[in-house]
Chains A and B, each alone.
Chain A
Amino acid sequence: MHLIDVQSGLLAHNDAVAAENRAMLAQRGIYALNVMSAPGAGKTSLLERLLPLLAARWRVAVIEGDIVGSADAERLQRLNLPVEQINTGGACHLDARMVHPAVHAVVHGPADVLVFENVGNLVCPAEFDLGEDDALMLLSVTEGHDKPKKYPLMFRRAGLLVLNKVDLLAMTDFSVEEAVQAARDVHPGLEVIRTSCRTGEGVADVAAWVERRIVAKRGLGVPPVRG
Chain B
Amino acid sequence: MHEAGIAEYLIEVAEQHLQRVPHGPVRRLHVRIGEMAGVNPDSLDFAFECLSKGTELEGARLDVERVPLQLDCDACGRRTPVADYVFRCGACGSETTRIATGRELQFVAIDADDPAEEVTGASH
Binding site for B on A (CB under 8 A): 1-11, 13, 91-93, 95, 123-124, 126-128, 149, 152-153, 156, 185-189
Contact = CB atoms under 8 A, between A and B. Distances in A.
Nearest to A155: B85
Nearest to B18: A4
B38 A3 contact: no
Interface string B2-23: 1001100110011001100101
Number of chain B interface residues as a range: 35 or more
A128 B2 contact: yes
A95 B24 CA distance: 35
A93 B39 CA distance: 14
B67 interface: no
Interface in B12-48: 13-14, 17-18, 21, 23-24, 27, 31, 36-39
Contact of B21 (A4, A11, A91, A93): A4
Contact of A4 (B23, B37, B84): B23
B100 interface: no
B24 to A, nearest CB: 7
A127 B13 contact: no
Contacts of B18: 4
Contacts of B76: none
B106 A10 contact: yes
21 contacts: A2-B24, A2-B113, A4-B18, A4-B21, A4-B109, A4-B112, A6-B107, A6-B109, A8-B107, A9-B107, A10-B39, A10-B107, A13-B9, A126-B38, A127-B37, A149-B84, A185-B86, A186-B85, A187-B87, A188-B87, A188-B88
A6 B36 contact: no
Contacts of B10: 10
B95 interface: yes
B24 A189 contact: no
A123 B112 CA distance: 34
Nearest to A189: B95
Considering residues A4, A8, A13, A127, which has the most beta carbons from chain B within 10 angstroms of its beta carbon? A4
Contacts of A156: 36, 87
B30 to A, nearest CB: 8
Nearest to B8: A13
Nearest to B106: A9
A6 B31 CA distance: 10
Contacts of B122: none
B108 interface: yes
B38 A124 contact: yes
Given A1-B112, A4-B18, A10-B9, 19 more contacts: A1-B113, A1-B114, A2-B111, A3-B110, A4-B21, A4-B111, A6-B107, A6-B109, A6-B110, A7-B106, A8-B107, A9-B107, A10-B6, A10-B10, A10-B106, A95-B5, A126-B38, A152-B36, A185-B87
